[in-house]
């Protein structure tokens, strides 16, 4: 019986592996990687449709697609040097940039932005009340938004990226892509942190006022 279970598990793993590698891969300019089946490209409409795992038809604009790696081994590049007016990358440079974005989306975390955001959020109701009185609690998002703005001006340190990915230490386009998504993750974490902090701070302020 145990041997039968092992055989079934092996078959399932092989099926999953074969099915995964037999799918088409879409690379988007924001570093997102979509592995899908049933791709249909309508170049005249400038859209791509595909079916997700829930058998729901999705549609994405062709202008957001860098390339598609087909399951038959073919590769189609949709990027051209005039795709973006403000970016003068060639194909390989853009590929490096997108790879940096992709790796950052997978591996960059920055929990410090979340924790510091919580601290700022918790203190915001008390700071706003100190400056504006009791109704000042409604101004607390202003202080938190200032913190998020400051965080948004910062990016992951280049030195740290090179230490983590020495194979890309001389690839400035990879580093640029990694920094861009890393900055977005910092902003997202700080927004989540401040939102949680404001809720905690507001609840604490209400409890303290009732106790007094």
**What is residue 201's predicted lDDT score, i.e. its pLDDT?**
87
**What is residue 7's predicted lDDT score, i.e. its pLDDT?**
41
For 141, half-sphere exposure in the C-beta direction (CA atoms, 13 angstrom radius) is: 4
Which CATH number applies to 2-78? Answer: 2.30.30.100
Mean pLDDT of 163-189: 94
Residue 139's CB: how many other CB atoms inside 10 A?
15
pTM of the model: 0.77
Pick 185 or 16 by higher pLDDT: 185
Pick 51 or 105 by higher pLDDT: 105
Structure tokens at 14: 């092989």
Which of these ranges, 95-104, 147-156, 179-188, has the smallest mean pLDDT? 147-156
Domain boundaries, the chain: 2-78, 103-211
**What is residue 153's predicted lDDT score, i.e. its pLDDT?**
87
**What is residue 137's predicted lDDT score, i.e. its pLDDT?**
59
Q: pLDDT tens digits, residue range 54-64? A: 667 778 888 88
Is 80 exceeded by the pLDDT of residue 182?
yes
**What is residue 136's predicted lDDT score, i.e. its pLDDT?**
53
DSSP line for 109-177:
--HHHHHHHHHHHHHHHHHHHHHH-GGGGGGHHHHHHHHHHHHHT----HHHHHHH-GGGTT-HHHHHH
Q: pLDDT tens digits, residue range 90-149? A: 889 999 999 999 999 999 999 999 999 999 988 888 877 777 665 455 677 777 888 898
**What is residue 81's predicted lDDT score, i.e. its pLDDT?**
67
Sequence length of the chain is 212
């Amino acid at each position: 019986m145990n041997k039968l279970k092992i055989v079934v598990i092996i078959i399932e793993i092989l099926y999953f592996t074969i099915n995964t590698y037999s799918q088409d891969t879409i690379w988007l300019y924001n570093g997102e990687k979509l592995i899908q089946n049933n791709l249909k490209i309508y170049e005249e409409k400038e859209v791509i449709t595909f079916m997700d795992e829930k058998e729901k038809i999705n549609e994405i604009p062709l202008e957001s697609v860098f390339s598609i790696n087909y399951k038959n081994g073919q590769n189609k590049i949709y990027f051209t040097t005039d795709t973006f007016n403000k970016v003068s990358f060639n194909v390989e440079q853009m590929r490096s940039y997108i790879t940096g974005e992709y790796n950052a989306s997978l591996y960059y975390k920055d929990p410090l932005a979340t924790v510091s955001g919580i601290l700022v959020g918790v203190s915001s109701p008390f700071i706003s009340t100190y400056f504006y009185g009791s109704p000042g609690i409604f101004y607390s998002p202003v202080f938190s938004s200032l913190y998020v703005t400051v965080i948004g001006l910062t990016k992951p340190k280049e030195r740290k990226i090179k230490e983590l990915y020495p194979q890309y230490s001389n690839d400035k386009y990879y580093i640029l892509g990694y920094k861009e998504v890393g900055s977005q993750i910092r902003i997202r974490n700080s927004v989540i942190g401040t939102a949680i902090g404001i809720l905690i701070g507001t609840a604490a302020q209400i409890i303290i006022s009732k106790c007094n």
